[in-house]
Amino acid sequence: MTAHPAIPLAGVIGNPIGHSLSPAVHGFWLRRYGIRGHYIPMQIAPEDLAEVLRALPKAGFVGCNVTIPHKEAVFALADAVTDRAARIGAANTLTFQPDGTIHADNTDGYGFIANLHAGAPLWRADAGPAAVLGAGGAARAIVASLLDAGVPELHIANRTRARAEALQAEFGDRIRVHDWAEVGAMLADVATLVNTSSLGMGGGGDRVPMAALPPEAVVTDCVYTPLITPFLADAAARGCTVVDGLGMLLHQAVPGFERWFGRTPEVTPELRQTVLDQ
């Protein structure tokens, strides 16, 4: 008999999971590079998470992505975590070692910064203060990545001020917290503006007053449905450079694919279009 090498398996776990675009991203790369591997969506209930994670390496899985509501839980279950995952307190990329141990990382911040550089090649973190709208899970990774990149000051506004203050307490004295009613004034002199909230999802929601926002600012939105949200459209009307949120999803997938399938994939216009067509 001829020995056949194991086919690497990976996937994305969440609850629910049907909305995830990750299978389209990784499936595109597997086909593009002719890799004999598979990437599948897996809907896992919270009460089954620990048992399923320990079983996946035994079933031939080399790793998986993690989406809501499991990012904090898998961080706690991992045998080893990267420094950036530890700083954020959540993981979105798991790699299973040959002995079955679980290595956890968070690539959301990497994807965010890579997307900014791709969509606004002249962007510099040290160009001036940054402002972040929202203080949820996505904000944690983005705040950490902006601070690490070198923003001199970071303003945060959230509808629930206490959540923004919690980020300030954790990430240090470069953070400035503002009431949600102060968002318009907060944008004066801002060089980088990021929306991490659900504001504008589906094309609706409140509008952010942008009269004080400098036209030289780079503005990005984590929401990518629609691709150009009202938030980005308003910023573009002021003359700002805008970067849509889809690229963050695509770029954060790169490190995991590289670890699991042994090839560094490229984020290309063809990949973007394939995902948009889903």
* Candidates 26, 70, 71, 84; catalytic one: 71
CB neighbour list of residue 268: distance below 8 Å, 6 or more residues apart: none
Q: Which residues are annotated as a binding site for NADP(+)?
A: 83, 134-138, 158-163, 222, 245
**Tokens matching residue 213:** 């926002």
**Tokens matching residue 10:** 């990976």
Q: Is residue 188 left, alpha or beta, with left meaning phi > 0 and alpha meaning psi from -120 to 50? A: beta
**Tokens matching residue 142:** 């983005």
Q: Rounded to 5, what percent of the chain is helix, strand, coil?
A: 40, 20, 40
Residue 14's closest CA among 55, 37, 38, 48? 48
CB neighbour list of residue 33: distance below 8 Å, 6 or more residues apart: 261, 263, 265
Token look-up 């770029």 returns: 251
Q: Which residues are annotated as a binding site for shikimate?
A: 20-22, 67, 92, 108, 224, 252
Q: What angle do CA 205, 211, 214 make, to 5 degrees?
A: 115
239 to 4, 129, 216, 232, 242: CA distances (angstroms)? 57, 18, 7, 11, 9
Contact 67/12 with Cβ under 8 angstroms? Answer: yes
Token look-up 């994670």 returns: 53
What does the DSSP 8-state code read for residue 126? G
Active site residue 58: no
b/e for 79-93, b at 16 or more Cβ within 10 A? eebbebbebbbbbbb
Residues involved in catalysis: 71
